[in-house]
Structure 1
Amino acid sequence: AKICKVAISILDDSNTRELTSIHPEKVALRRKSLQPLSEYVMKHVRWCLTLFPTEGQAQDADMSLAEYQDFVYATMFCNRKNPIAEWNALERRQESLTRQLNRAKRIQILGKETDLTMDVRGRKFINSSGHYNMPSGEVFTAPLERSVEGTILYEDFPTIYGGREVSGVFLRFKNGKVVEASAEKNEAFLLKMLDLDRGARYLGELGIGTNFGIQRFTRNILFDEKIGGTIHLALGRAYEECLGTNKSALHWDMIKDLRKHGKVLVDGKPLVRAGRMLKVRT
């Protein structure tokens, strides 16, 4: 890895569930062993991640392969007259949003069985507009590690990690730490991952999806965390470019859909309401 300067990764999983039957302890051991390599790549390598559609991915998304191919093509604006202009426009919109959010102090997420607050002072929101992930369309930061308080329920979408699908996740935070966790499906796996290391029970990321060209849940985080009108929170490792400090071998994104009900408040003012992005002055 230390002689690598640029990495372009193309996901082409034909079997997305190959780790499903592997014991959680082995999954955790693998994740820990890869942590030094992952940290080096994030810090020192120019990288980009994208996907080539396969039958396995299409099945996860409940689509035919042809339908999934069209979906992937459209998420990257390749079906538009000028895809580059579309990405440039998205980048400008998100730059305006990050400027607003970088003046914020407190973020609150409200929804069904959800009232979660966090402090983002001194942290940096990043404009993710296609330079690292393709497709992209999100802004994200790392909340202050000990500031997260309250509850969140992920009732609409299952969350997937290491080939395991965990649904109906409920988390309670106190002083930044997950102190209560449950799930309707694969709860034992959730609890095992939360005990992976000291940082696994703390949030490493808050992300806001801004790509309204992505409307369908596909069970692939590359697309799903970008869905316009959703937020995602990652347990575990924080990104240093956000000025986050949480260290963990875990980075598990969980998506909450706010399009039917729910909202995001920035210093008490609505930013996302019923899936719509609103302008807010901070």
Structure 2
Amino acid sequence: MENLEKTLDGYAKLCVEVGINLQKGQPLVINSPIEGLEFVRLVAKHAYALGAKQVHVNWNDEALTKMKYENAPMEVFENFPKWYADGLEEFAEDGAGFLSIYSEDPELLKEIDPKKIAAHNKSSSMTLKEFRKYTMNDINAWCVVSIPTKGWAKRVFSHVSEDEAMKKLWEAIFKATRMDLENPVKSWEDHLKNLEEKVKFLNEKRFKKLYYRSSNGTDLEVELPEGHIWAGGGGKNSKGVYFVANMPTEEVFTMPLKTGVNGVVYSTKPLNYGGNLIDNFKLTFKNGKVVDFEAEQGYEVLKDLLALDEGAKHLGEVALVPYDSPISQSNIIFLNTLFDENASCHFALGKAYPTNIEGGEKMTDEELEKAGVNDSLTHVDFMVGSKDLSIIGKTKGGEKVQIFENGNWDLLGILIYQILTLI
């Protein structure tokens, strides 16, 4: 690929300077597949150039992961190592930034006993619960990015050679992260400002309920809690440093009231969950809880996900993404949540971000529960956006506003509102 080396170096720099926004003296922890060796070295180079205290890398290898699932006994998956969680907590307490490179083969564990996968997901979530408070509460800067791996690339571009698939996926990632533009950093600054305008509009309206309708059968009412906060683009960590948690990102998001979701919602893209695909599924909610579900593919995996704990049956995130977002316009199904969620409106089953409610990052678990904030060991995004999705917001005073029409922001309506607020 022409200029790959130069663009890759720029991408690594973007991850450190814009994603994590690494500060002098700050440690950086990277989670990466072994196929990302050269990229990680570039990230480390830029991190040290900014004055990083140290760069620590946790490597993973899909071949070894699959081998483990095929051969290790169940007790291995039921007992996640505490020393690993302790190490992450130690880095978090030292103010580290956390960069995760998410590039797994979406069907790596397709033939594996789903009970082993469910056991691992539960034990890892329980053991890492304390560490995840540092990221879920934005105490530490964190960022999720992707690079192509052979397994993932061939799943996305199965009709071409492995080399061609890698090339195509690199091109798609660079386009989605604005690395194909002349000045990626400036482009990101403009993009983040655009998202902030949407966030401001939603936070000023203080919608009480959102109504989702689509011709695929989606008919859902989502109540939002008192004091909910919309966010999008980036945020600030506990030291006031601005960072961007997802690259790419096209969403603005908040939390639903734990008990305030009613109706039916249909998925519109496959969900890659723990090396397995869940596709064409339907969830039925009553008083916030999933009371029925169907899935054409991955039914048992979805069943185990919902059974992880009580919170996994409730929603923790409501996210708005236009149907004509750049990632959606690529017409690529990435089979990777980082990308697919930024091509589609989505929800998340499981834990809500405490930062999505006023004072939430300082609340106790009991206070969050009382405020209607969902808690869980998991947080799994799934896509529901479609080209004819309609979303209507209703304020506490009964005013109804068309937020999304035909899958996209009703920009005219938002513009009129903004003009009226200036008069």
Query: Could you say whether these structures have the same fold, taking a TM-score greater than 0.5 normalized by the shorter chain as the test?
Result: yes
For residues 98 and 241 of structure 1, the distance between their equivalents in structure 2, rounded to whole angstroms, comes to: 14
What residue identity is the alignment partner of 1:7?
A: F
Q: CA deviation at 1:220?
A: 0.7
Identify the match of residue 88 of structure 1 among 155, 179, 189.
189
**Which of the pair has more CA radius of gyration?**
2
Report the Cα distance in structure 2 between the residues aligned to 1:81 and 1:41, rounded to whole angstroms: 32
Deviations 1:32-91 (A, max 9, x none): 222213334434432111111122222222262111111101111111122122211121
Is structure 2 residue 325 aligned with structure 1 residue 212? yes
**1: CA distance, partners of 2:102 / 2:300:** 28
Name 2:353's counterpart in structure 1.
Answer: 239
Q: Assess if the C-alpha contact under 8 Å between 1:124 and 1:241 holds in 2.
A: yes
Matches within 5 A, 1:11-30: 11-13=102-104, 15-30=105-120
Question: How far apart are the structure 2 equivalents of 1:246 and 1:172?
Answer: 17
> How big is the shift at 1:269?
2.3
CA distance in 2, matches of 1:226, 1:92: 17
Q: Structure 1 residues 277, 168: closer, same or farther in 2, change over 3 A? A: same
**Is 1:73 equivalent to 2:174 in the alignment?**
yes
Structure 1 SS opposite 2:272 = strand
Aligned to 1:270: 402
Per mean C-alpha deviation after superposition, the further-off stretch among 250-259 and 68-77 is 250-259
Which runs of 5 or more structure 1 residues have no equivalent in the other structure?
A: none
1:107 aligns with 210
Mapped pair 1:8 → 2:99:
yes
Q: Is the 8 A contact 1:258 1:273 kept in 2?
A: no
The SS at the match of 2:308 is coil
Provide TM-score, normalisation by structure 1. 0.91
Q: Is the 8 A contact 2:106 2:276 kept in 1?
A: no
Matching residue's letter, 1:248:
S
Mapped to 1, the partners of 2:135 and 2:317 lie a distance apart of 18
Shift of 1:142: 0.8
Q: How far off is 1:249 after superposition?
A: 1.6
Q: How far apart, CA to CA, are the structure 2 residues paired with 1:165 and 1:122?
A: 35
Equivalent of 1:222 in 313, 333, 338: 338
Instruction: Choose the corresponding residue for 1:54, options 149, 155, 168.
Output: 149
The reply on whether 1:126 has 2:231 as its aligned counterpart is yes
Task: Give, in whole Å, the separation in 2 of the partners of 1:100 and 1:200.
Answer: 30
Which protein is richer in strand relative to its size? Answer: 1
Query: Is 1:142 matched with 2:255?
Result: yes
Higher relative contact order (CA 8 A, sep 6+): 1
2:289 to 177, 190, 208: 177
Tell me the CA shift for residue 164 of structure 1: 1.4
Are residues 166 and 93 of structure 1, via their aligned partners in 2, closer, same or farther at CA, if it must alter by over 3 Å? same
- Quote how far apart the aligned CAs of 1:186 are: 2.0
Name the CA distance, whole Å, in 2 between partners of 1:91 and 1:26.
Answer: 40
Which piece of structure 1 moves more, 84-93 or 168-177?
84-93
Structure 1 runs (4+) deviating above 4 angstroms are none
More helix by share: 2
The farther-off stretch of 272-281 and 163-172 is: 272-281
Partner of 2:82: none
What are the superposed Cα offsets for residues 7-53 of structure 1, whole Å, 9 maximum, x if unpaired?
1222344x443333333332222222222133344344321111111
Give 3-state SS (helix, strand or coil) of 2:310's partner. Answer: coil
Determine the C-alpha separation between the residues in 2 that align with 1:27 and 1:185: 16
The corresponding residue for 2:132 is 38
Whether the 8 Å contact between 1:62 and 1:218 is mirrored in structure 2 is: no
Alpha-carbon distance, 1:221 to partner: 0.7
Gap regions ≥5 residues in structure 2: 1-87, 159-164, 235-242, 358-367, 395-399, 419-423
- Opposite residue 325 of structure 2, the aligned amino acid is F
The percentage of aligned residue pairs carrying the same residue is 29
- Is the CA contact (8 Å cut-off) linking 1:128 and 1:139 kept in structure 2? yes
User: Does 156-165 or 208-217 show the bigger shift?
Assistant: 208-217
- 128 and 249 in structure 1: CA distance in 2 versus 1, 3 angstrom threshold: same
SS in 2 for 1:233: strand
**TM-score, with structure 2 as normaliser:** 0.62
Q: Whole-Å Cα distance in 1 between the matches of residues 217 and 135 of structure 2?
A: 38
Question: By how many angstroms is 1:191 displaced?
Answer: 1.6
CA distance in 2: counterparts of 1:207 and 1:32, whole angstroms: 25
Residue of structure 2 equivalent to 1:254: 382
Query: What is the CA-CA distance between 1:174 and the residue it aligns to?
Result: 0.6
* Alignment coverage as a number of residue pairs: 277
| Greater Cα shift, 180-189 or 205-214 | 205-214
